[in-house]
Structure 1
């Protein structure tokens, strides 16, 4: 079914392409298009979710209709939101010869009313307007993603899988400690190699052996924990092998590994999640990590809201953890001395605020180091 209606005024003066937005979902895909010769009317069509052939057939039909109306053949430009579908549809469209863009939905301006109307139909129209403005060259109208290659996207799976396994390991370990604490037992470490032998010797706070059902539950928790530990070893071995391979082909990975305090996990996250990309300046680096400041300036109001947190959250959390360890492993570096001086000026307060600032400075310094070879002043680098 095709629906026609007028979008908002002043969208464009002359259309030199067919602009298409695709709203992806599990059940249906909504295709919204604006074609030459159709005036200001938007055309909408739905296909079954996952029907790539139906989508491509619709795009071919749009080109044929525009050709019959105007006597000219126009290119097709497609836009879609970044989401759970990933980038496979973007790659399909590019393989078929279409210009495709993936937009960060949060970067598109929306109504600030308390109850904003949101439907797939309106979202499709909004994407079309954003795409038109983007192609006209309007600044800051939206943020188009730099889609990683399949190799770059797959490379990040190792560090992300390890993080998931670590979180599961912590949950199982805490559950065992909680069960034992309910019996008055503390100090038991489920990660020790002799964990099963120690479990047999445990006694409750009132001097009795562990209840049978609780003991069996803890043993089953240990079974699951040991499976996770084996998987963690396998993932870390795969990560180390990948890093060794990257060192042979990418100079930047070798440079990161030489910095004292940057171990295999930090190097893998820094490279796989962020520093493999191209950045024009330090502001882009900080913004991608979600560490850029967000000022609020209006009239006489001028205050700082903190970091934006709109970037890569995995990279940001790793940088915050790395900043604390940087103070320990690189106490003589300029960054560590700056942090200690600023904290001392505040009487030892605001450490969490300053560690965020240190993380921002650290990612910018590491970016300069791997991209331009600018060594961090005072930092210890392995030969």
Structure 2
């Protein structure tokens, strides 16, 4: 939730923006009664130095102003994450984290971009937002450390799965160069014996250097398989523990009751999406980037597809769950709608249709975890 700080009529605000980078931080400030923005450079990652600088700004402005002063600070979300916002809010500094993709920029020729220009522009954006114009930018909700840590588990699993897929593809490609089309023990097993018995397409044993390279690939693959299993064990323990910090474990357990949705998918959906509060189905779809993007200007009226402006990992997961829903929920109303509208119309229509199904399925699952309303025709797992 975005904190709301009461703005009294006798309070003089000091608007501050911080342009973050890996080498240094550029701090821009606009004190009461001045029209020129002051700039200062601080070492990157030094939150205490920033706090000391802010206190100096308060003391300096307090001596010139009869009214009490208060800092209103903002910065763009990016590489540094949310730790700085938590630090500043713990020091009672009004802090706003801005979504840079929501800024309105000039389309007149080439746009000049420097840290100084960006820092000064953020001050103008913050002033407009605090004055009541919420169309100038979007404020990012800062998650609690527990919420952020709960997402880390399934995000790491996704990274490991992608690494495992690359290694498997590499092993298959190396063997295909020598006429070997089939390989086993990719998910575990005696792969060393398999390599000893392999013969190339012209009947030879594997060349020594190729054998060593594939051996190293299998060793990395075995390590990844072990780590994936460890994460899945930690996920099960996190959901079953009484004092678990995982948000809304009851929603994850409820999602697992539906056929076609496994434990990993349910956990990721809850940690990334359903732990939040949404006001409407349109709000939910736009959060994942599954909302349509129309283009209508004059006589031109066309659809640009989905916006893809939301949570990419959760959006990809919903598309995977949509394919699984067609297989494991064949008699559900959503599956029947998909087959009636997209079946037999080609591969492109099938891919477009499964994205539309993913949006409908997302809304149905949201209603299921919030109200217990089972999607029409869906089957629950037998206890």
TM-score by length of 1: 0.92
- In structure 2, what is the Cα distance between the partners aligned to 1:297 and 1:89? 41
Give the aligned partner of residue 10 of structure 1.
none
Give the aligned partner of residue 66 of structure 2.
71
Which of 104, 107, 118 aligns to 1:109? It is 104
5 Å-filtered alignment, 1:259-278, equals 259-278=258-277
CA pair 345-221 structure 1, distance change in 2 beyond 3 A: closer
Cα offset for 1:365? 1.3
Give the aligned partner of residue 375 of structure 1.
374
Cα offset for 1:250? 3.7
Any stretches of 5+ residues in structure 1 without a counterpart?
Answer: 1-13
- In structure 2, what is the Cα distance between the partners aligned to 1:346 and 1:304? 19
Give the aligned partner of residue 285 of structure 2.
286
5 Å-filtered alignment, 1:208-227, equals 208-227=204-223
Give the aligned partner of residue 197 of structure 1.
193
Any stretches of 5+ residues in structure 2 without a counterpart?
Answer: 1-9
5 Å-filtered alignment, 1:1-383, equals 16-38=12-34, 40-191=35-186, 192-245=188-241, 250-344=249-343, 350-382=349-381
Cα offset for 1:243? 2.7
- In structure 2, what is the Cα distance between the partners aligned to 1:73 and 1:211? 78
Deviations 1:42-70 (A, max 9, x none): 11111111222221111112212221222
Runs ≥4 residues deviating over 3 A: 245-250, 344-349
Deviations 1:6-35 (A, max 9, x none): xxxxxxxx9841111111112211111122
Deviations 1:320-379 (A, max 9, x none): 111000011111111111111111495776111111111111111111111222221111
Contact map agreement 1:108 1:142 (CA 8 A) in 2: yes
- In structure 2, what is the Cα distance between the partners aligned to 1:16 and 1:362? 49
Cα offset for 1:251? 2.6
Cα offset for 1:312? 0.4
Number of residue pairs matched?
Answer: 370
- In structure 2, what is the Cα distance between the partners aligned to 1:194 and 1:269? 32
Contact map agreement 2:294 2:303 (CA 8 A) in 1: yes
- In structure 1, what is the Cα distance between the partners aligned to 2:158 and 2:48? 37
TM-score by length of 2: 0.92
- In structure 2, what is the Cα distance between the partners aligned to 1:219 and 1:344? 44
